[in-house]
Amino acid sequence: MLEKSKNITTASLDYLSRLTPARLAVGRAGSRPRFDSWLSFRKDHALARDAVLGDLKASFIKDFAQIYDLLVVESQAGDRKNFVLNPPSGKRLKESEVAEIRAKLGQTSPDVQIVMSDGLSALALEENLPDLYPMLLDGFRQEGITMGKAVIALQGRVAIADQIGYLNGAKIAINLIGERPGLSTAKSLSAYITYNPSPSTISSDRTVVSNIHQEGTPPVEAGAFIVKTVKRILELKVSGVKLQALS
């Protein structure tokens, strides 16, 4: 945290504060934070906790899935508490449902398989998907990029998209997932894009478009960038660090 000093003018601090949601020059009252700064911190901390522990609203799931004809599945986590305390449980589908999910996906071998996971912020999906997802649909359609039946994965982590993409024979898996919230926003979404998803996929295989929210990269702008990135990945047939090496 920056404190006011002879070398930093009030005007400079005001300018810097407008450029970032970070806490700059919050000041203090003796050895304690200023009262307004402390309240702001407590509010943002509460929002972050609520984002991590909250579930996707049933009304959002029902409406969004109905509008876009989505398949709704659940990870092995089962509930939010287990999802948070046992991270690997969110990376895989329930074994008893894999065959049924494969049948519903249809094994169409599309260019792209989209999965939408609540991750560590269900709020991020509710806030950003209504603008982001239609942009992806339009962009892929214009580029002639085929899509499999999109999926909402409840209590899902990044790797669950690799399993679903592999089941469907997709060239690329995209996980639109709520990110771990910080004290500047609890609504940040990321897109993890993986070429040739499979059980052997590792983190370095994924290309990430992060910080998608209204105060970061707006959802519509992010959608256009994701489409451009997917097109490049399909052309080069690599993603993650291998894609970076070719840039």
- Whether residue 193 is predicted with pLDDT greater than 90 in this model: the reply is yes
Give the mean model confidence (pLDDT) for residues 153-180.
Answer: 96
160 within 8 A of 115, measured Cβ to Cβ: yes
Q: Is the alpha carbon torsion for 118, 121, 122, 127 positive or negative?
A: negative
Give the mean model confidence (pLDDT) for residues 57-64.
Answer: 94
In this prediction, residue 8 has a pLDDT band, given cuts at 50, 70 and 90, of low
Tell me: the pLDDT tens digits for 215-243?
Answer: 899 999 999 999 999 999 999 999 999 99
Measure the CA–CA gap between 177 and 124, rounded to whole angstroms. Answer: 8
What pLDDT does 215 receive?
Answer: 86
Give the mean model confidence (pLDDT) for residues 105-127.
Answer: 93
What pLDDT does 2 receive?
Answer: 47
Give the mean model confidence (pLDDT) for residues 134-161.
Answer: 97
What pLDDT does 7 receive?
Answer: 57
- Place domain 58-246 in its CATH homologous superfamily: Ethanolamine ammonia-lyase light chain (EutC) (3.40.50.11240)
What pLDDT does 1 receive?
Answer: 46
If you count them, how many residues does the chain have?
A: 247
Give the mean model confidence (pLDDT) for residues 168-190.
Answer: 90
In this prediction, residue 80 has a pLDDT band, given cuts at 50, 70 and 90, of very high
| Overall pTM surpassing 0.95 (yes/no) | no
Measure the CA–CA gap between 178 and 228, rounded to whole angstroms. Answer: 21
In this prediction, residue 26 has a pLDDT band, given cuts at 50, 70 and 90, of confident
Tell me: the pLDDT tens digits for 32-48?
Answer: 888 788 887 788 778 87
Residues 6+ away with beta carbon under 8 Å from 30: none
In this prediction, residue 14 has a pLDDT band, given cuts at 50, 70 and 90, of confident
In this prediction, residue 183 has a pLDDT band, given cuts at 50, 70 and 90, of low
Average pLDDT, the chain: 90
- Per domain, the residue ranges of the chain are 58-246
Give the mean model confidence (pLDDT) for residues 92-108.
Answer: 91
Burial of 131 (0-12, 13-18, 19+ CB in 10 A): middle
